[in-house]
Structure 1
Amino acid sequence: MNAIVNPILRGFNPDPSILRVGGDYYIATSTFEWFPGVQIHHSRDLRHWRLLTHPLTRKSQLDMLGNPNSGGIWAPCLSYSDGTYYLVYTDVKSHLGPFKDTHNYLVTAPDIMGPWSEPVYLNSSGFDPSLFHDEDGRKWLLNMVWDHRKGRNHFGGILMQEYDESRRKLVGPIHNLFRGTELGLTEGPHVYRRGGYYYLLTAEGGTRWNHAVTMARSESLFGPYEVDPANPILTSRHDPGLPLQRSGHGDLVETPSGEWYMVHLCGRPLKASRMCNLGRETAIQQVEWTEDGWLRLKGGGREPRLMVEAPADLPEFRFDEPAHGTGMDSFDGETLGVHWNTLREPADESWLTLRERPGFLRLRGRESFSSAHGQSLLARRQQAFAAEAETVVEFEPDTYQQMAGLVYYYNAKNWYYLRISRDEELGKSLAILTCDRGVYGEPLEREVSVDGWDRVYLKLTLDYERAQFHYSADGSDWKAVGPALEAGRMSDENAETVRDGFLLDQGFTGAFVGVCVQDLSGARKHADFDYFAYRETEEDAETP
Structure 2
Amino acid sequence: MFLQALSVLGLLVTRSLSANSTYHNPMLPGFHPDPSCIFVPDWENTFFCASSSFLVFPGIPIHASRDLRSWKLISNALNRPEQLPGLNTAKRATSGIWAPTLRYRDGTFYLVTTLVYDDYPQNASNRFDNFVITTTNPYNSSAWSQPAHFNFSGYDTSPFWDDDGQVYVTGTHAWQIQPGIQAFTLDIETGSVGEIINIWNGTGGSSPEGPHIYRKDGYFYLMIAEGGTGSGHMATIARSQNILGPYDSNPHNPVLTAVNSTRYFQDVGHADLFQDGDDNWWAVALSVRQAPDGSYPMGRETTLTPVTWEEGQWPVFTNVTGHMNGWHLDNDLPVAGGEGSLVNSSEHLNFGANSSFPLELVHWRFPIDSSYVISPPGHNNTLQLTSSIANLTGSDGRSAESLGQTFIGHRQTHTCFTFSSTFDVTSVQAEEEEVGVTVFLDQLHHYDLGIVMLPNQTTNSSTLSPYFRVRGITTVPAFLSSDIAVAPVPAAWVSSHLTFEIRASNMTHYTLSVGPAGKQSQVMDIGFAPGLGLTWGFTGALLGVYATTNGATGQFQTYISDWKYEGLGQVIE
TM-score, normalised with respect to structure 2: 0.86
| 1:403 is the counterpart of 2:444 | no
| Residue 446 of structure 1, CA deviation | 4.4
Q: Residue 445 of structure 2 aligns to which amino acid in structure 1?
A: N
Q: Tell me the distance in 2 between the aligned counterparts of 1:541 and 1:123.
A: 43
Corresponding residue for residue 513 of structure 2 = 470
Q: Residue 153 of structure 2 aligns to which amino acid in structure 1?
A: S
Out of 164, 169, 191, the position equivalent to 2:187 is 164
| Residue 478 of structure 1, CA deviation | 3.6
Q: Tell me the distance in 2 between the aligned counterparts of 1:436 and 1:448.
A: 26
Q: Tell me the distance in 2 between the aligned counterparts of 1:444 and 1:199.
A: 55
Out of 511, 515, 526, the position equivalent to 1:482 is 526
Corresponding residue for residue 130 of structure 1 = 158
Corresponding residue for residue 17 of structure 2 = none
Q: Tell me the distance in 2 between the aligned counterparts of 1:348 and 1:359.
A: 21
Corresponding residue for residue 36 of structure 1 = 58
Corresponding residue for residue 496 of structure 1 = none
| Residue 61 of structure 1, CA deviation | 1.4
2:385–2:406 contact (8 Å) kept in structure 1: yes
Counterpart secondary structure, 1:489: helix
1:443–1:482 contact (8 Å) kept in structure 2: no
Seen in structure 2, the aligned counterparts of structure 1 residues 382 and 96 have a Cα distance that, compared at 3 Å, is farther
Seen in structure 2, the aligned counterparts of structure 1 residues 205 and 147 have a Cα distance that, compared at 3 Å, is closer
The structure whose residues are more often helix, as a share, is 2
Seen in structure 2, the aligned counterparts of structure 1 residues 258 and 6 have a Cα distance that, compared at 3 Å, is same
2:74–2:138 contact (8 Å) kept in structure 1: no
| 1:252 is the counterpart of 2:282 | no
1:47–1:310 contact (8 Å) kept in structure 2: no
Q: Tell me the distance in 1 between the aligned counterparts of 2:219 and 2:180.
A: 20
Counterpart secondary structure, 1:379: strand
Counterpart secondary structure, 1:270: coil
Q: Tell me the distance in 2 between the aligned counterparts of 1:446 and 1:309.
A: 50
| Residue 319 of structure 1, CA deviation | 6.1
Q: Tell me the distance in 1 between the aligned counterparts of 2:54 and 2:106.
A: 30
Out of 494, 503, 509, the position equivalent to 1:452 is 494
| Residue 452 of structure 1, CA deviation | 3.2
Q: Tell me the distance in 1 between the aligned counterparts of 2:563 and 2:407.
A: 13
Q: Tell me the distance in 2 between the aligned counterparts of 1:78 and 1:407.
A: 32
Deviation per CA, 1:246-265, whole angstroms, max 9, x where unpaired? 10000011112210001111
Q: Tell me the distance in 2 between the aligned counterparts of 1:313 and 1:34.
A: 33
Seen in structure 2, the aligned counterparts of structure 1 residues 99 and 415 have a Cα distance that, compared at 3 Å, is farther
Counterpart secondary structure, 2:344: helix
Corresponding residue for residue 330 of structure 1 = 350
2:515–2:524 contact (8 Å) kept in structure 1: no
Q: Residue 408 of structure 2 aligns to which amino acid in structure 1?
A: L
Q: Tell me the distance in 2 between the aligned counterparts of 1:72 and 1:41.
A: 20
| 1:277 is the counterpart of 2:297 | yes
Q: Tell me the distance in 1 between the aligned counterparts of 2:144 and 2:486.
A: 51
Counterpart secondary structure, 1:60: helix
Q: Tell me the distance in 1 between the aligned counterparts of 2:490 and 2:123.
A: 49
Seen in structure 2, the aligned counterparts of structure 1 residues 86 and 528 have a Cα distance that, compared at 3 Å, is same
| 1:6 is the counterpart of 2:30 | no
Q: Tell me the distance in 2 between the aligned counterparts of 1:133 and 1:81.
A: 9
Structure 1, unmatched stretches of 5+, are 149-153, 493-506
Bigger Rg, which one:
2
Corresponding residue for residue 498 of structure 1 = none
Counterpart secondary structure, 2:132: strand
1:161–1:170 contact (8 Å) kept in structure 2: no
Corresponding residue for residue 16 of structure 2 = none
Corresponding residue for residue 332 of structure 2 = 316
Deviation per CA, 1:159-215, whole angstroms, max 9, x where unpaired? 22211134x213321111112211221000001111211110101111101110100
2:234–2:269 contact (8 Å) kept in structure 1: yes
Corresponding residue for residue 237 of structure 1 = 259
| 1:534 is the counterpart of 2:559 | no
Deviation per CA, 1:233-285, whole angstroms, max 9, x where unpaired? 0000021x1121110000011112210001111110112x1111110011111
Q: Tell me the distance in 1 between the aligned counterparts of 2:314 and 2:544.
A: 46
Counterpart secondary structure, 2:59: coil
Deviation per CA, 1:431-488, whole angstroms, max 9, x where unpaired? 1111122531112254435663231111111122221111111332343333422123
Q: Residue 351 of structure 1 aligns to which amino acid in structure 2?
A: S
Q: Residue 133 of structure 1 aligns to which amino acid in structure 2?
A: W
Seen in structure 2, the aligned counterparts of structure 1 residues 518 and 245 have a Cα distance that, compared at 3 Å, is same
Counterpart secondary structure, 2:296: coil
Out of 101, 110, 117, the position equivalent to 1:77 is 101
CA RMSD of aligned residues (A): 2.0
| Residue 334 of structure 1, CA deviation | 2.6
Deviation per CA, 1:383-412, whole angstroms, max 9, x where unpaired? 122111111111312212321111111111
Out of 208, 225, 243, the position equivalent to 1:186 is 208
1:404-423 to structure 2, matched below 5 A, reads 404-423=435-454
| Residue 348 of structure 1, CA deviation | 4.2
Corresponding residue for residue 108 of structure 1 = 134
Segment of structure 1 superposing worse, 477-486 or 77-86: 477-486
1:430–1:449 contact (8 Å) kept in structure 2: no
Counterpart secondary structure, 2:532: helix
1:287–1:295 contact (8 Å) kept in structure 2: yes
Corresponding residue for residue 288 of structure 1 = 308
Segment of structure 1 superposing worse, 174-183 or 202-211: 174-183
| 1:461 is the counterpart of 2:503 | yes
Seen in structure 2, the aligned counterparts of structure 1 residues 423 and 478 have a Cα distance that, compared at 3 Å, is same
Out of 12, 15, 25, the position equivalent to 2:34 is 15
Q: Tell me the distance in 1 between the aligned counterparts of 2:487 and 2:334.
A: 49
1:462–1:487 contact (8 Å) kept in structure 2: no
Out of 357, 365, 382, the position equivalent to 1:360 is 382
| Residue 31 of structure 1, CA deviation | 0.7
| Residue 27 of structure 1, CA deviation | 0.8
1:251–1:264 contact (8 Å) kept in structure 2: yes
Q: Tell me the distance in 1 between the aligned counterparts of 2:495 and 2:368.
A: 29
Counterpart secondary structure, 1:94: coil
Q: Tell me the distance in 2 between the aligned counterparts of 1:98 and 1:447.
A: 48
Out of 146, 149, 156, the position equivalent to 1:118 is 146
| Residue 5 of structure 1, CA deviation | 0.9
Q: Tell me the distance in 1 between the aligned counterparts of 2:35 and 2:47.
A: 12
Q: Tell me the distance in 2 between the aligned counterparts of 1:537 and 1:486.
A: 19
2:47–2:65 contact (8 Å) kept in structure 1: yes
Out of 406, 419, 441, the position equivalent to 1:389 is 419
Q: Tell me the distance in 2 between the aligned counterparts of 1:290 and 1:306.
A: 26
Q: Tell me the distance in 1 between the aligned counterparts of 2:555 and 2:135.
A: 38
Out of 30, 41, 45, the position equivalent to 2:67 is 45
Counterpart secondary structure, 2:77: coil
Corresponding residue for residue 433 of structure 1 = 471
2:422–2:517 contact (8 Å) kept in structure 1: no
1:107–1:120 contact (8 Å) kept in structure 2: yes
Seen in structure 2, the aligned counterparts of structure 1 residues 521 and 47 have a Cα distance that, compared at 3 Å, is same
Q: Tell me the distance in 1 between the aligned counterparts of 2:115 and 2:327.
A: 35
Counterpart secondary structure, 2:306: strand
Counterpart secondary structure, 1:488: helix
| Residue 71 of structure 1, CA deviation | 1.1
Structure 2, unmatched stretches of 5+, are 1-19, 395-399, 457-463
1:75–1:188 contact (8 Å) kept in structure 2: yes
Q: Residue 305 of structure 1 aligns to which amino acid in structure 2?
A: T
How high is the sequence identity, in percent, across the aligned residues? 27
Out of 213, 216, 238, the position equivalent to 1:216 is 238
Out of 522, 530, 544, the position equivalent to 2:553 is 522
